[in-house]
Amino acid sequence: MTQMVDHLPRPRLRAAALATAAAALVALTTGACGGPSDCCVKAPTASPSPTSPGGVPGAAWAYPSQAMSLRVRAGTDFDIVLRPGAGAGPEAGKGSGGGSRWQVNAPKIEGIAVRHRTGSAAPDEKGGVRATFHAVKPGTARVVLTEAGSDRTMTYQVTVVTGPGAAPSAAPSATGGGLDRGRTLDAGFAGGPGGEVTVRRGERFSLPNAYSNVPGITWRVVSRSSSGPVPLLSDTPHVEGNAAGDRKDWYTFSADQVGTTEVKLFGCYRCADGSTPETAESRAHSETRSVRITVR
């Protein structure tokens, strides 16, 4: 008997085997997992949730509105807090806080290192408003807030870093000071022609400078009599009120001799060194106040 020989081409067998293996692989990667989107395709990584520098989700550092340079860590949130009286700058005279509010719903941001969290202009627990921003990535940015109904602005230079940020500087606390203020007078420093007071010789007395410190203004004595009829006893005033909002700085004098003298204060609007206007806007909103003191 003649033996029958299988003459099927071997390449066709190899092709059939490969097709079977491919089918098995498809079944393994689809049917067994419920489809590619179920478990076999890696899901995209979610963006990290904003956290405070301390790692607390949803928390943010709160910088007082008077601040000018902020240093924050990439990936974290930070707030700029505007206290009541935001619209009462130095030109408002008495710092009543009754001026317009700063517009924070759509701040101007120059640079891509920082973005505003839309709808974040929420009421602050102390009656003001806080606007929340997110430090996107290392770099620098300028955040500009504009006063509603005005072209007056507050500019913040923001540096975003990979390491630790810089904790917000607390607004100076209201302090009683250690100086005997003597008699406190209602009349005090004023703009324009200034204020006028008359006191008795030998009297110690204090005069107020009332203003809102929300936008950020620094006062310093620029003209005074160090001896003469009415020496100023200290350049450091006694502070009353909300140091981050409406406040009164009291300056204390001694009526040593009969005569008249004038004392001037210069209020520097958002000045980095507290004394020298660096921009046209700073020069426009800085002001000088004075008081004329007569001793009889």
Task: Print pLDDT tens along the chain (296 aa).
Answer: 444 444 444 554 445 554 554 454 444 344 433 443 333 333 333 334 445 555 555 567 888 888 889 999 999 999 988 775 544 444 443 333 334 567 777 789 999 999 998 765 555 555 667 889 999 999 999 999 888 777 788 899 999 999 888 888 766 666 766 789 999 999 999 998 889 999 999 999 999 999 988 888 899 999 876 557 889 998 889 988 876 678 899 999 999 999 999 999 999 999 988 788 988 889 989 999 999 999 99
Identify the helix (H) or strand (E) that includes residue 16. Answer: helix 10-29
Say which CATH topology domain 60-161 has.
Immunoglobulin-like (2.60.40)
CATH number of 183-295: 2.60.40.2020
CA distances 124 to 12, 39, 261, Å, are 78, 45, 44
Fold identical between 60-161 and 183-295? yes
- Residue 261 contacts residue 223 (beta carbons within 8 Å): no
Question: Which residues are bridge partners to 259 per DSSP?
Answer: 295
In what side-by-side order are the strands of the sheet with 246-254? Answer: 183-184, 204-212, 246-254, 238-241
Query: What are the residue boundaries of the structural domains of the chain, listed by start?
Result: 60-161, 183-295
